[in-house]
Amino acid sequence: MPEAMVATRASEATSSGNTLEVDVAVVGAGFAGLYLLHRLRKAGLTTVALEEAGDVGGTWYWNRYPGARCDIQTIDYSYTFDSDLESTWKWSEKYATQPEILRYLGFVADRYELRRDIRFGTKVTAATWDEVSERWQLTTDNGAPVSCRHYIMATGCLSAPKPPEIDGVKDFKGEVYFTGRWPHEEVKLAGKRVAVIGTGSSGIQSIPVIAEQAAQLTVFQRTPNFALPAHNGRAPADRVALLEGDRAAYREQARWSLAGVPWPQQTVVSWQLSDAERRERFETAWAAGDLVYILTQLWADQGVDVEGNAILADLIREKIRSIVKDPETAAALSPHDHPFGAKRPCLDTNYYATYNRANVTLVNVRQEPITSITATGIRTDKRTFDVDVIVFATGFDAMTGAITAVHPIMGRGGKSLSDVWAGGPQTYLGLTVAGFPNLFMITGPGSPSVLSNMVPSIEQHVDWVADRLMAMREKGFTTIEATEKAQAGWARHMADCSMLTLHRLANTWYTGANVPGKAHSLMPYTGGVGPYRSICDEVVGHGMLGFRLTGANVAAQCNDGEIVRLQPDVRLVLGMLAQMNLPPIESFGAQGARDFVAEFNKSRPAGRPVGEVVDGTLPGADGPLAYRLYRPATPGPHPIVVYFHGGGWVLGDEQSDDPLCRDMCRRTGMIFVSVGYRHAPEHRFPTAAEDSFAATRWIAEHAGELGGRPGPVLVAGWSAGGNIAAVTCQLARERGGPEIAGQLLVCPVTDCRFDRPSYNDNAAGYFLTRSLMYWFWDIYCSPADRTDPRASPLRGKLAGLPPAFVVTCEFDPLRDEGIAYADALAAAGVHVERLQASGHFHSSFAMVDVVITGVSGRARMAGALRRFAGLSEGIGAQPAPDVAPQEINAAAG
């Protein structure tokens, strides 16, 4: 059916006594509520929307403050479900004003005749799940109660204004306005003394406009925010051309993008660019006036790494200083307490320049707290400001408030949603809550929502929910409810995702920190719009994984489980590898596999800068061996870590784990010397082990010449390199040195047995496969030699070995032999620390800057190496500020 024809479909709600009976009741008539009405009507479901406001618009109905505009380009901030609608409506500006967006939503409501199913001026006063009828029973403050099978909160994320939390508001005799509840009639500010409290998006948009009208404007700022010039005007020609060139492709790209706007994934990292190149990129972004652009397109590490982010934050602060003439005001306006993007940045028109006006004063509430509001104005602990008008731009009880503050929602067993969420929101997919059957949320906590372009996210949610309701009807199911297990799995996945970005490092409304007493948790989904969409699709593909479905005349269905067990970035990497459909590495032969790995490594992000990288050779057991030395930028001499690369004793060289060595050199503040031991099949067992032992001894004896600290060295290795590091420790103990202060074994090969469960659980699909391990073993070592401790260190004598840090990954065939080695070391009295990394695969920690969630694990490894070397755990000169201790624990298995 053409979308426009849906309007003609009759709405067939029935009444039972005084109660309106519908299939679905929706709260809210903003972007989400309107599209829901349309989709549900199209599906033939009777629906009513209950809306407190007098008309459609949702957030755009209420937020009418001066200067209110969209801050995602409007061509992207539009419905995409109907191409006819898209070609009928033309936006007049790059960032539409609130009145224009409201007109658009009114136009949509008219076009699909949606108002006839909306009860305006109606607040739901309670929603209760009735276990007997399996329906939600709603009471309202206007009109008949409503009984519905399904109840959908389309209440938005920012619809419950936060109380001002300042004493004395009621005493004020002047005018008081809230940006989130701005009057519909004209507010006259001309000639008045106005105070604005709050410098989030609403404050930053309204302050320049208010300054032009008011006689005097005093801005009370608690936390400075980053703001960028919008450069509003006509929609940029290049974006419009892209959209109009292939509208369907443009929209599809947005749906699978990270933020819901079709920009490509940036791959160049900050340290690959010169200062001049970074500045050029920044100036382009500053001139572009586009939040999503500057948040995603400058360099790949800006949103995930504090150092990459700090470069950008410095450049913005420089801009603020160049615009604001008074240095003290410029300093007060410059944010220093959060990474750029971790708190919602703003888009402005003349915001910073407004502080150059003679009639504008900035009050830094951090230095001069507001103590009260009096009859005549605002008092700080230093001064009193007499004003005629106070504008509160103090924000919202975001995400949860939009749902729980609306009315009591009582689910199964009379449990209230507010109580269930008292410790922070719990949801499955951000769409549903265990214990609340047939309740859905659009853009609820746990969905990408506010970290995305809201409109495509809303469309995805609505489509997913509407499709589920149709599928249920077809199969005769009448209830759907998330399971506790699925919900707990989503909470874990959310926590994993929170390690991807820097949002966790700021106190913001994203985390609930803006509302006193609110539980602290990062509420929006940080894994991105496209990944989220694919997860929702997977839930369906796996037979509604994590949902219980029941119906009177059908057998109940419950495919319980967790939808994502991998770390989010591991999932992306493995998904990309699966799409490449590569032949098994072992099918290339040894040389072919080496060439393949060398080629593959070219596409990975470059390693980070360290103080110095030196290539050299050292005498091995049987001739010279190449090595690469990584020296920290800090003054030496530094302890030395002898490092052995991975590659199954067949692949790789002293340079092939370059990003890992650089990262660990920076994190530990120690020299890493990566040894180019010889490989099979040219040099089979025990060459790799003997070369590595000889190299370790030589490095220990020549530590001073290498610029290192004389005394014990440490050893480290990943995969087969972990095997070699473990063997080196055993040989050093048996052969009278060198002295080794500690061993770091990352996913080590420790034994020649293949019957441990991880060999079966993770036999295929996680890059390192069982058959590849068989191949490595066959090339390296004859079956007769495999039980030699130089091949299988688990079979060696373990007492008296240096302290060990053993890393194992959940989705690695080698997981259980790594755990077995750690257990055996501990049983032999060796000091052992472990990291059992959940959701990670064999290559997680080596894929530096690809698997971002590996950061916390590497920080722990570095801390252990420093302790083993007798240093304090923190590095001092090169801290790893991107990881807080509790986060490390959260990421560790």
CB of 831 to ligand NAP, least distance (A): 45
Out of 250, 436, 440, 509, point to the residue binding ligand NAP (CB under 6 A).
509
CB of 692 to ligand NAP, least distance (A): 54
Asked if 701 is part of the footprint of ligand NAP (rule: CB under 6 A), the reply reads no
- Sign, CA torsion 539/545/547/551: positive
Number of residues counted as binding ligand NAP (CB under 6 A)? 29
- Contacts with ligand NAP, 64-83, as mask; x by CB under 6 A: -----xxx------------
**156 vs 447: CA distance, rounded Å:** 12
Q: Which of residues 196-215 bind ligand NAP (CB under 6 A)?
A: 197-203, 205
CB of 370 to ligand NAP, least distance (A): 6
Burial class (CB in 10 A: 0-12, 13-18, 19+), 293: middle
| Alpha carbon separation from 706 to 80, 661, 699, 702, 872 (Å, rounded) | 62, 16, 8, 6, 23
- Contacts with ligand NAP, 87-116, as mask; x by CB under 6 A: ------------------------------
Closer Cβ to ligand NAP, 351 or 811, answer by number: 351
Which residues touch 282 (CB under 8 Å, ≥6 apart)? 298, 312, 315
Residue in the structure block whose two tokens are 């087969």: 720
Residue ranges of alpha helices (H) inside 289-426 are 291-296, 306-323, 327-333, 351-354, 401-404, 417-420
What DSSP letter does each residue of 153-200 carry, written as one string? E---SS-SBPP---TTGGG--SEEEEGGG--SSPPP-TT-EEEEE--S
Structure tokens given for 200: 């989030």
Stretch near ligand NAP under the rule CB under 6 A, chosen from 80-88, 193-201, 487-495, 707-715: 193-201
Beta strands in 189-331 (DSSP E): 193-197, 216-221, 227-229
Q: Which of 68, 92, 67 shows the shortest CA–CA distance to 78?
A: 92
Q: Which of residues 169-188 bind ligand NAP (CB under 6 A)?
A: 179
Helix axes 658-668, 855-868, angle to 10 degrees: 60
Structure tokens given for 844: 């997680």
- Inter-residue long-range contacts of 94-99, CB under 8 Å, 24+ positions, other chains counted: 94/230, 94/231, 94/232, 94/233, 94/234, 94/235, 94/236, 94/289, 95/69, 95/70, 95/71, 95/230, 95/232, 95/347, 96/69, 96/70, 97/68, 97/69, 98/60, 98/63, 98/64, 98/68, 98/69, 99/64
Q: Collapsing DSSP states into helix, strand and coil, what is residue 675?
A: strand
Burial class (CB in 10 A: 0-12, 13-18, 19+), 601: middle
Closer Cβ to ligand NAP, 97 or 137, answer by number: 97
Q: Which of residues 332-351 bind ligand NAP (CB under 6 A)?
A: 344
Angle at 768 between CA 766 and CA 772, to 5 degrees: 135
Residue in the structure block whose two tokens are 């990584």: 630
Closer Cβ to ligand NAP, 179 or 426, answer by number: 179
Closer Cβ to ligand NAP, 71 or 658, answer by number: 71
Closer Cβ to ligand NAP, 342 or 680, answer by number: 342
CB of 396 to ligand NAP, least distance (A): 6
Asked if 158 is part of the footprint of ligand NAP (rule: CB under 6 A), the reply reads yes
Which residues touch 686 (CB under 8 Å, ≥6 apart)? 785, 788, 790, 791
**679 vs 418: CA distance, rounded Å:** 61
CB of 222 to ligand NAP, least distance (A): 4
Q: Collapsing DSSP states into helix, strand and coil, what is residue 442?
A: coil
CB of 719 to ligand NAP, least distance (A): 44
Beta bridge pairs of residue 16: 19
Residue nearest to ligand NAP (CB): 200
CB of 507 to ligand NAP, least distance (A): 8
The secondary structure of residue 264, as a DSSP letter, is P
- Contacts with ligand NAP, 431-460, as mask; x by CB under 6 A: -------------------x----------
CB of 501 to ligand NAP, least distance (A): 16
Closer Cβ to ligand NAP, 291 or 573, answer by number: 291
Closer Cβ to ligand NAP, 450 or 549, answer by number: 450
Asked if 526 is part of the footprint of ligand NAP (rule: CB under 6 A), the reply reads no
CB of 122 to ligand NAP, least distance (A): 25
Closer Cβ to ligand NAP, 398 or 409, answer by number: 398
Out of 285, 365, 700, 720, point to the residue binding ligand NAP (CB under 6 A).
365
Closer Cβ to ligand NAP, 393 or 855, answer by number: 393
Closer Cβ to ligand NAP, 199 or 719, answer by number: 199
Closer Cβ to ligand NAP, 490 or 525, answer by number: 525
First-residue to last-residue Cα distance in the chain: 51
Closer Cβ to ligand NAP, 101 or 154, answer by number: 101
Q: Cβ distance 817 to 844 under 8 Å? A: no
Closer Cβ to ligand NAP, 65 or 677, answer by number: 65
Out of 147, 296, 350, 394, point to the residue binding ligand NAP (CB under 6 A).
394
Q: Which of residues 215-234 bind ligand NAP (CB under 6 A)?
A: 220, 222-223
Stretch near ligand NAP under the rule CB under 6 A, chosen from 63-71, 376-384, 540-548, 639-647: 63-71
The secondary structure of residue 82, as a DSSP letter, is -
Stretch near ligand NAP under the rule CB under 6 A, chosen from 12-20, 194-202, 349-357, 573-581: 194-202
CB of 68 to ligand NAP, least distance (A): 6
Q: Which of residues 819-838 bind ligand NAP (CB under 6 A)?
A: none
Q: Which of 771, 849, 770 shows the shortest CA–CA distance to 811?
A: 770
Site of interaction with ligand NAP (CB under 6 A): 69-71, 158, 164-166, 179, 197-203, 205, 220, 222-223, 344, 365, 370, 393-396, 450, 509, 514
